[in-house]
Structure 1
Amino acid sequence: MKRGFLNKPNAFGKTSTPRTDNGSNIIQQSLKPHLFNYAEQSRMPGGLKRGKVDVGDFKAPELEIQIQAIDNTKLDYADDEWFASTQPAQSPGTTLEDVPDNWSVCYISGRAKRAILSVPGFPEALPRPDSSRPKQYKIIETPGKGMGMFATCDIEWGELILTERPLLVFPASNRHMSSLAYPKDFTIDQIQQAQLNQLEKVMETLVNQMPKENQEAYKRLANCHQEDGSGPLHGIARTNGFSIGDYYEPKIPGFPEAATRYSGTFKDISRINHSCRPNTRRDWDSPTFSLHLRATKPIKKGQEITLSYISDGVDPTTGRQRQLASYGFTCTCEACSNPEISDPRSKQIKELLKPVATMINPMTLELLDPATAKGLGMGQALLESGSSLGMAMTSPLGMPGTTMSKGLGAEDDLDADTVFNLSKQMGQNAVEPALKGLKLLEEEGLTGTIWYWNLLGRVSEGYNMMALNDQEMDREAIKWHQKSERYKKLFKSARNAKWREEKEREEEREKGEEKWNDDEEYKKLVDEMTKKMFATRPRPGA
């Protein structure tokens, strides 16, 4: 038997008939669930100072969360049944000495628990940084910023600094409390305060199930929600939580995507201060149920280790500051301190990050600009070739790739020079803006982002297009492909939902390529093109 915590059915006070509270006020359950976007409220002017609302003597029905001896491998819960659970599951009396990898107290739904336990290999042991080296960081006081994490030795680009399981996992939204019963004369503000009061009771139950060492570590974390109606334990979770994007609840109309996720609060990673131009990145790894922290830049001994708290680092300064408002501080990183330099770069980067799609009119072989569908100047030469072969090569944002589609008249004579020039032009259309974007990202200190990897892939694909019978372009293609793969190996190593989606896209692309390779007409065409290329354009030095 494993240790877990399960709430009884109707534990959130769902009632079908009115009841009284203290013999007076009539309690009714609202027919419309009350959902509050706490994060958005905190970003509003004065959102962190809105104060606590008076709800009189009202007390919501007890949650009746009970500690029961249950099998933590149990999966037959209703999707919307909420309970507390330790993950990975531990036997009663287990200590941190027994399990140095730690475990998490989770407040989750039935659907989330199934998602956690269905991951192949779960729960794996945590990977450790190089054991031959001393611990790479320490937590110390930071002038003007509270506690922070600092490097105790030089840390290399891509190096694993820390893997850590959360102390607490909690839903990002309040959907699990949206149907509580309230006095019929309560205002919206009073209903929200009643929910916050009840959330604090939930937090008390959860924190009390942690080992003593974890309880103390949790309570030492910062809390910027002391004046907005949140209780102290809930305020700590709101201040220090990092999104865990691998276990989702259904989308809430009118709420951002983040509201479907869970949030994890960590002993050490939650101590890391923010920078819009951080020197590390974090990635959730589902088999180990942990967050992985890697260096995205070389970090010198004594330098502060930073993370980004926001989702879009290429937003202008005002947009980034608004996202950070819920944390109660004003960022003074290099980008925020020099908006006249950073903002124009960010604007250019956003333009260069738009999906690249070099398209060709299948009837005329006119090379088209994907944004305007206007010709790019190759049409006349293509028409003179007498061919109506149609091709499309794309590098969609998120997964660099190439697809080719046949057009009309594949049996037509195709001039090798035309194919070479066309391929070169298409490659240049991909490479030139991607190289510019990479340079801007480097200048902005954003080399540890998914955008940087995407552009590396675009450059690699572009040089592949230009490598027809050209040794120099072939060498460039290999160089950039190796750089892209090096980045992928270091920064896409965490196994999570995004990792699985990208893996599925790669598999689909490979299936598509196999389909083309099995097409006899296509193979015949490629063979003819290759013979012509080598016959008319020998390699230099041949």
Structure 2
Amino acid sequence: MKRGFLNSSKVKKKPLYEAHTSTESAQEAIQDQEKPGPTLNVIKLPFGKVENRGVPNDYKVSGLTPTEWSHNARVDYDPNQAVMTTIPPRNFNMPPNPDGHSTWIVRGVTKAKVLNRPGYPKVVPKPSGPPAYEVRSTPDMGMGVFATRDIAAGELILAERPLLVAPRDIGMMVDPSKLMLREKYSPDEFKQITMMECEKLLEFVVHRYMEPEHREAFLALANSHQEDGSGPLLGIIRTNGYGIEGLFDGPKVNEWESNTYGAIVKVGSRINHSCRPNINHKFDLDAFCLSFFAERDIPSGKQLSYSYCYMGQSAADRQAELAPYGFSCTCPSCVNATPESDKLRTEHEQRISTAEASVARGAANKATFASLIDLKKQLVEEGLDASDAYPKLLKAISALCGKLGMTAEESKYLKDMKNYVL
């Protein structure tokens, strides 16, 4: 029951594995042409569950693309070489890094890009004050993460290095000769072949090289893909992966984001869904960690929640996007959805953009201020103060207060806005 691949550092998202489109074959052909070298291929897994027809009887699973396992800081790889590594690099003659190490399936050049960053390495940030969370069971959502004290908006709740970081389309690490099998097998059969090959790669990584305590935590995570042929390890990744913004192969993120990476984390992957989330996250490449922040004030005992779907859509569309995770959302925004709340969700980003433009053009009157405060109230009541656009509204209100000479209010809304901007 975990989140999809993020399209931004905030709430607007894409699934960890995108749905196939009618133009996908053409897109893949373009991608293959754009990627130099024979090992950069795209074997794209579908979003959500697929019909499990099994691997064809005449197919023999071959296992791994030739790779190298490297704990050290080596960066002189062939341009497209696939590597399984430890980050931060691990010197077994020295004590482990106090902030922990992540297992990483990566292109060698991307490993070099991170290790050679001017700001790398940086220590994992530490929350202030006493511990703010605990992991425990929920009545109807499996394990969850709960606040153990009052948490202020904008506060860092936890930061952790991932258990595993892998390509968003992990099929890219499969033997590129498998691309030729598209002509031999049906699309459904080829999906099963791809997932089985990915599973074999993950078996090698998880069971042979992941640290025992990390392996135990990884295997304990939920898997909503137990019956569709994903395999137990790939199913955990497809269920629990956070997209990592800023980590990608090559000079830029391609149009289909197939060259990006996802992370599985010990605590963060236990955070359950709500369409009215109260936490957000960001990935720090220099510390190589995922940090979770309070999106609003969270009282002690409240479950931490994060939206696995795009918030700016109707309740019916949200439920459809969440269906592959194997549950129906019962948050207040879904249970109490109305045509008016659906309209607010689908239109709130445009309404905020219009407000920004109006203030930028010089609108400065009490009527405009009242309308923006009313919009802010509606968003808070609907739980959309966790949306990507909400801090933009706070910024517009602050700017308008400045134009109206409302100095104290200007500072207040500007301060509130900074709590939401990661």
Shift of 1:272: 0.7
TM-score by length of 1: 0.63
- 2:33 equivalent in structure 1: none
- 1:217 equivalent in structure 2: 217
Q: Does 1:443 align with 2:381?
A: yes
Alignment partners' CA distance in 1, 2:413 and 2:100? 35
Alignment partners' CA distance in 1, 2:53 and 2:369? 55
Deviation string, structure 1 residues 34-57 (Cα, Å, up to 9, x no partner)? 633421xx1xxxx35x12423214
Cα 1:157–1:356 change in 2 (3 A) is closer
- 1:54 equivalent in structure 2: 55
Identity %: 30
Cα 1:73–1:140 change in 2 (3 A) is same
Choose which of 413, 417, 420 in structure 2 pairs with 1:483. Answer: 413
Cα 1:435–1:72 change in 2 (3 A) is same
Shift of 1:94: 6.5
Choose which of 400, 405, 413 in structure 2 pairs with 1:474. Answer: 405
SS in 2 for 1:169: strand
Cα 1:216–1:485 change in 2 (3 A) is same
Alignment partners' CA distance in 1, 2:137 and 2:315? 27
Alignment partners' CA distance in 2, 1:71 and 1:140? 36
**Contact 1:276-1:313 at 8 Å conserved across structures:** yes
**Contact 2:136-2:146 at 8 Å conserved across structures:** yes
Letter in 2 for 1:263: G
Cα 1:111–1:491 change in 2 (3 A) is farther
Q: Does 1:334 align with 2:305?
A: no
Alignment partners' CA distance in 2, 1:287 and 1:121? 6
Shift of 1:157: 2.1
- 2:393 equivalent in structure 1: 455
Cα 1:94–1:268 change in 2 (3 A) is farther
- 1:303 equivalent in structure 2: 302
Choose which of 315, 318, 321 in structure 1 pairs with 2:313. Answer: 315
**What pairs with 1:349-360 in structure 2 (closer than 5 Å)?**
349-355=348-354
- 2:114 equivalent in structure 1: 116
**Contact 1:35-1:178 at 8 Å conserved across structures:** no
Alignment partners' CA distance in 2, 1:337 and 1:146? 20
Deviation string, structure 1 residues 4-38 (Cα, Å, up to 9, x no partner)? xxxxxxxxxxxxxxxxxxxxxxxxxx9x9663342
Alignment partners' CA distance in 1, 2:324 and 2:313? 17
Cα 1:463–1:220 change in 2 (3 A) is same
Alignment partners' CA distance in 2, 1:195 and 1:171? 14
SS in 2 for 1:353: helix
**What pairs with 1:378-393 in structure 2 (closer than 5 Å)?**
none
- 1:36 equivalent in structure 2: 44
Shift of 1:115: 3.5
Unpaired runs of 5+ in structure 1? 1-29, 359-368, 370-392, 396-422, 467-472, 494-542
**Contact 1:157-1:298 at 8 Å conserved across structures:** yes
Choose which of 160, 164, 168 in structure 1 pairs with 2:164. Answer: 168
- 2:123 equivalent in structure 1: 125
**What pairs with 1:13-162 in structure 2 (closer than 5 Å)?**
35-39=43-47, 42=48, 47=49, 50-63=51-64, 65=66, 68=69, 71-78=72-79, 80-92=80-92, 98-130=96-128, 132-133=129-130, 135-162=131-158
**Contact 1:431-1:458 at 8 Å conserved across structures:** no
Shift of 1:87: 1.3
SS in 1 for 2:385: coil
Shift of 1:116: 2.0
Unpaired runs of 5+ in structure 2? 1-37
Letter in 2 for 1:346: R
Cα 1:93–1:427 change in 2 (3 A) is farther
Letter in 1 for 2:81: E
Alignment partners' CA distance in 2, 1:438 and 1:233? 43
**Contact 2:65-2:174 at 8 Å conserved across structures:** no
Q: Which has the higher contact order (CA 8 A, sep 6+)?
A: 2
Shift of 1:463: 3.4
Cα 1:346–1:223 change in 2 (3 A) is same
Cα 1:101–1:65 change in 2 (3 A) is farther
Cα 1:480–1:115 change in 2 (3 A) is farther
**Contact 2:70-2:85 at 8 Å conserved across structures:** no
Alignment partners' CA distance in 2, 1:453 and 1:251? 25
Shift of 1:222: 0.6
Alignment partners' CA distance in 2, 1:198 and 1:487? 46
SS in 2 for 1:301: coil
Alignment partners' CA distance in 2, 1:445 and 1:88? 38
**Contact 1:453-1:484 at 8 Å conserved across structures:** no
Alignment partners' CA distance in 1, 2:414 and 2:113? 31
TM-score by length of 2: 0.80
Query: How many aligned positions are there?
Result: 377
- 2:421 equivalent in structure 1: 492
Cα 1:168–1:260 change in 2 (3 A) is same
**Contact 1:352-1:433 at 8 Å conserved across structures:** no
Larger gyration radius, structure 1 or structure 2: 1
**Contact 2:159-2:289 at 8 Å conserved across structures:** yes
Alignment partners' CA distance in 1, 2:377 and 2:332? 17
Deviation string, structure 1 residues 372-397 (Cα, Å, up to 9, x no partner)? xxxxxxxxxxxxxxxxxxxxx848xx
- 1:262 equivalent in structure 2: 261
Letter in 1 for 2:115: L
Letter in 2 for 1:51: N
